Amino acid sequence: MGDHICPWWLAYTFDNPFRRIFHNPEKMLGSYVSKGMTVLDVGCGMGFFSIGLARLVGDMGCVLATDVQPKMLGVMQKRSEKVGVSSIIRLHRSETNNLGVDTPVDFVLAFWMVHEVPDLKLFFHQIRACLKTEGKILIVEPKFHVSSKRFQETVVLAQASGLNFCETPSIKFSRSAVFKNDSS
């Protein structure tokens, strides 16, 4: 969402089948996502997590996969078609500083992308606006790129937006936090 967005071609270095060894979407997200939910994958990239989320929500659910880069969404579309979950995933191109999602969602995943957002206050305001009451957001940032101090600043901004901290799940190579929207 900012000027320092990971180029689409670099995503191939970490968005590949070997990643499932460390970041298995179904195992990592299965305690937050269930059949029939509507979920939002912000900064979905090439669809690594969107496809796993689609399997978790099933045919009665919906995954809103959003990214600012058309190339990412194009690759994501092809991958979702190849594995048979494209009917569950709705692609959306966001703009810088405008998520552009008004569909109420049960769960939001922001994996390795929050550090690219230029205006975190606005970002969390937009996330909270589409997150249902009792809905959760999982924020995950790469340890090799985001310092502990910077991640704590992100946590503070999330809380200042009205999201309530729940837990810190252990995710390989990452700093993470789960928040809940306790009020509408």
Which tens digits make up the pLDDT trace of 8-65?
Answer: 545 555 566 666 678 899 999 999 999 999 999 999 988 999 999 999 999 999 999 9
pTM of the model: 0.90
* Structure-token match 């929050």, residue found: 114
pLDDT at 89 over 50: yes
Beta carbons within 10 angstroms of residue 126's beta carbon: 20
d(CA 103, CA 8): 26
Phi-psi region of 100 (alpha: psi -120 to 50; beta: other; left: phi over 0): left
